[in-house]
Structure formats: C-alpha cells, structure tokens
Amino acid sequence: MSEKSEQQRLSVFKTYKLYVGGKFPRSESGRVYEVTDSKGKWLANAPQSSRKDARDAVVAARKAFGGWAGATAYNRGQVLYRVAEMLEGRRAQFVHEVADAEGLSKSRAAEQVEATIDRWVWYAGWTDKIAQVVGGGNPVAGPYFNLSSPEPTGVVAVLAPQESSFLGLVSVLAPVIATGNTAVVIASERSPLPALSLGEVLATSDVPGGVVNILSGRTAEIAAPLASHQDVNAIDLAGADEVLAKELEIAAADNLKRVLRPQPVDDWTAAPGIDRLTAFLETKTVWHPTGSLGASGSSY
C-alpha cells in the first residue's frame, strides 16, 4: 500500500478482549491498561483482568476438562494440528504483532512465528505417544496384570513467559493441553496482544471452548487467586520473577498443586524435551488378577 492510500484510509482498530470459555469477554472489572511497543508507541488498550475474571476462567476450564481429557489422544492431536494450520494462514498478522510486541525486525519476528507454528505440530504429535513413552506394563511378581498410564492433572494455571510473547507462550501452553489438561493462561504483562490474538485462532481451530482461557493484565494480581484457588490442580510459574514465584508456590501448597518453577530459557526456539508434558501428568496404575490355568497350553 502506498503512503498516499494509507493516508486516505483510516484503519480500524481491534478491541482486544479476553478469551474465556470459548467467548471473548471484556474484563468484568471494566479496566484496561495501555500496551505499547518497544519504543513506547501506543498499540492498544488490553483488558486488565480481575480476581473475578480469574475465577470465571477456572470455572470455564473445569467445565471443559471432562470432555477434553476424555477425548481420544488422536482427536486432541488433530485439534492441535488444526491450530497450526490456522496459524499458518494468519502468519502475517502474528509477525506484525510479535514484531511490535518484542521490538523485533520483520524477519526475526517471522522466525519466532514459524517456530511457534512448528511447536504446535510438535505437540500435536505427542498426544498419542506420551503414554507409550512414560507408561507401560509392569512385571509384578505375582499373577497380576499391572499397567501404568499417564493421565492429565486437571486445570493448570499458566503464567506465560514475560519476554517471549508468542513462541514462549505457546511453548508453555501447548504441552499443558496436549495431554488433556485445560489451561488458564496469564499473557505476558507487557506484551499481551499476540496471546489475545491467539485466542481468536483457538476459537476457530476446533479447540473446545474453555480448554484454553487467556487473561491479560497484571501478572501478580491474576496469579495470586489462581495459585490459591482450590479448584486449580497445577501451576506453571514460567512468567513469574523469583519473589513472585516463591509467594505463589507457597500459596499453591495449600491444595498441593503441581508446581513447575520458572527456569531460565535463553532460546525458546531450542527443541523442547518432554519435561513440560510430564510436569502436568498423573500416573495411574491398574492391577487386575490374571487367574491361573496351571501349566496348560502348548508351549509351541
């Protein structure tokens, strides 16, 4: 588009909204905060979520848990792959948003977005394999069938990384939902826009409403009620600083949430292992007597 035509036409701004229970509400508090690019230029007013928004998101995530955890692993894989397909089509939008959010050149931002799309594909492939890697039969010393299988923990609160607004976000979110958990995500405080736009992608990717809930605002303010919430099963503290992480971990102990402590990540593009998958899995072991037929049967 030429300079001239840009001047002629005034663009339409997007009202950024939360993504909760498959819908796009504003914060119930009516608050917003100013989001700027790395040079301080105004980009948007993002919703500043309240405790009530956090609790609503937990309700939505809990409601979605049964269906999502109960879906076949194959089905979840297809849905995650669909997210990658949808993102590929909106690549340009996200390159733009990530460039603004993180002060990156177009080409650096494009690398981030491409790595993010590929990350969805990576986790799409894990849904029906993780049980084969971390589960299995156990040769107990007795006439019993004994099988250990991983199961999702439940509702996981995720503090998205503060610096990597999109790749970092997806790198912590995708493993949580791949295994059948549902998530309440707090977007990067300073750069929440790519996360809020991701909600629009998820809403059109066959991800059932409530599986992913995205909140923007002050991380510490939203994280506190989530860390102490009795219906949250786990918390990923990736986006918390040392002081906040300790506070939240103490609060999380109240109902023994599974806690993933923040770890320094230099390069989010590096290949992820399976730690983020296993962090939010339970292991269930089922016993069943095998009975006995004595020494019957041919050994051939």
Residues of this chain that interact with another protein (CB under 8 A) are 73-74, 77-78, 81, 118, 121-122, 124-129, 132-133, 143, 145, 274, 288-294, 296-298, 300
Q: Which is nearer to another protein, 254 or 275 (CB)?
A: 275
CA angle 68, 216, 272 (to 5 degrees): 55
CA distance 181 to 61: 9
Q: Tokens in use for 294?
A: 């004595």
Per-position b or e across 20-30, b if 16+ CB within 10 A of its CB? bbbebebbbee
Q: Which is nearer to another protein, 13 or 300 (CB)?
A: 300
Q: Which is nearer to another protein, 16 or 126 (CB)?
A: 126
CA distance 232 to 156: 6
Nearest distance from C-beta of residue 78 to another protein, angstroms: 7
Nearest distance from C-beta of residue 161 to another protein, angstroms: 21
Torsion of CA 195, 123, 240, 161, to 10 degrees: -40
Nearest distance from C-beta of residue 204 to another protein, angstroms: 17
Nearest distance from C-beta of residue 290 to another protein, angstroms: 4
Q: Which is nearer to another protein, 38 or 290 (CB)?
A: 290
Q: Which is nearer to another protein, 14 or 288 (CB)?
A: 288
Nearest distance from C-beta of residue 142 to another protein, angstroms: 12
Q: Which is nearer to another protein, 19 or 126 (CB)?
A: 126
**β-strand 182-186 against 136-137: which pairing, if any?**
unpaired
Nearest distance from C-beta of residue 131 to another protein, angstroms: 8
Hey, which residues does 145 pair with through a beta bridge?
288
